[in-house]
Structure 1
């Protein structure tokens, strides 16, 4: 790609940035960052057909809006030779909470002050300090499993109630179920046996549930986790076998004589075989 500095008036957005957009929550941080240290990631543009000095904006609509709000007149852009906005917007990787923590910690390690980070990201300085202590008391192996996942700070804080080995188990369960919410983390803590909780940890009092019922929940959760891991271990092997069967059945149905025989003698089997072959994912 070629780089070029363009006037903002010559850049035509292909969509409007609205408060209802999925990533609009970060808009204030984008404005503060550009105001504090300037544009870091260039805009991606494509020359508009039939116009010499106009460019279509493929990627960077929130950055463009932020620069216009600040009052900047130009921006450094990369010129794409393909008019393809989908690729840029489909392959966006959102910064997870743990990745944000690592970024802030590394910046402070290199001499950036908490006040500068607060201004650059438009967040309260207390949140910056809280981010630095985010992983305190959490097992590194559990952090590694969750570092790219959209887990919340409140869910991570619950991890501190469990011992390291249990934290790793909880992280595996969250990844396997693709559930990173506070409520799920709390359910895992409630279902954690007392000997796997840190000394002095008190579980949240559950109104209307007796100690006997909590004990039964712990046993049921332990059994459920054991069964879940068992089925998870078997899933890969079963999926491989099913994939091989699907390919074999497809080859059978490609044979005209076999298809005609099934259609004549066993139409219900043919229907099931066709449904199996048509599956796009197993």
Structure 2
């Protein structure tokens, strides 16, 4: 690639063309556990593939010793579904470096925002809304609702919640807030690991009018002074929660750091490849710990 100041070579993250690869030549970096195979997420992806096919190709990387064999970096569920359907080949994107995609960061979770992006991508490819509705086992109005899911949500809040299973009505509550308050609310929900509609409504209720898209309606029987007092009390509780969170204890912090380090190790394809070859039992235990951390 030629830069403004001269000839600069920028390595590509993927090969120039996608490849149709025999599924037997693709080696997964992990085995899907039984709970994943029985999950709603798995059944939704299976239904989607049956109805509209693969929307986002799996990502693989060539084996350094045997270039005709590939390691699967992203798309474990998709590949498993295809194999069980009797498919023999799949079109894949071929990464050129191990760090382009890692299994810890790219496993499909079909979270709310990821599903939204999948729907948009399918519609861009010309898939009718009716087919998408059948694939996801929802009605057509739900598909239309999900198309506009993130309108009015700031990019920072979207990025924070992209892997969380956030109810649609919770996102609707966030839209009532201005961007800075959306970010604060997302941080609180993540810290509490609580994404319910009622919790989102309480955050809206505790938000000053200046940080709302539209001022709140007056609550019957309460004066403006009382409402202001409630807002101040809620803000005080938020501050107290953050203080308690910071002082939670060294044991919990050590656990978080240890599991975080383990997760980063499993994010290195070279490490996973080595463990799979020489210490498969250890790799299996490490993956269980990493999966528990993500589910927490």
| TM-score (norm. length: structure 1) | 0.53
**Greater Rg over alpha carbons, structure:** 1
Is the contact made by 2:132 and 2:143 (CA closer than 8 Å) also made in structure 1? yes
Residue 32 (structure 1) aligns with: 47
Which residue matches 1:174? 185
Alignment map for 1:19-168 (pairs within 5 Å): 19-21=34-36, 25-39=40-54, 40-47=56-63, 55-77=70-92, 84=98, 87-92=101-106, 97-98=112-113, 100-101=115-116, 104=119, 112-132=127-147, 134=149, 140=152, 142-150=153-161, 151-159=166-174, 162=176, 166-168=177-179
Change (3 A) 1:149 1:127: farther
Q: After the TM superposition, which of the residue ranges 105-114 and 59-68 deviates more from structure 2?
A: 105-114
The number of equivalent residue pairs is: 211
Match of 2:206 in 1: 191
Q: Secondary structure at the match of 1:6?
A: strand
Flag structure 2 segments of 5+ consecutive residues without an equivalent: 1-14, 242-296
Q: Which of 67-76 and 167-176 deviates more? A: 167-176
Judge conservation of contact 1:114–1:125 (CA < 8 Å) in 2.
Answer: yes
Quote the residue 2:232 is aligned against: 219
TM-score, normalising length: structure 2: 0.51
Distance 1:169 1:53 in 2: 50
CA shift for structure 1 position 35: 2.8
1:45 and 1:59 in contact (8 A); partners too: no
SS in 2 for 1:130: helix
Indicate the structure whose relative CO is greater, using CA pairs within 8 Å and at least 6 residues apart.
Answer: 2
Aligned mates of 2:185, 2:38 — CA distance in 1: 24
| Helix, strand or coil at the partner of 1:147 | helix
Shift of 1:118: 1.5
Root-mean-square deviation (CA), in Å?
4.7
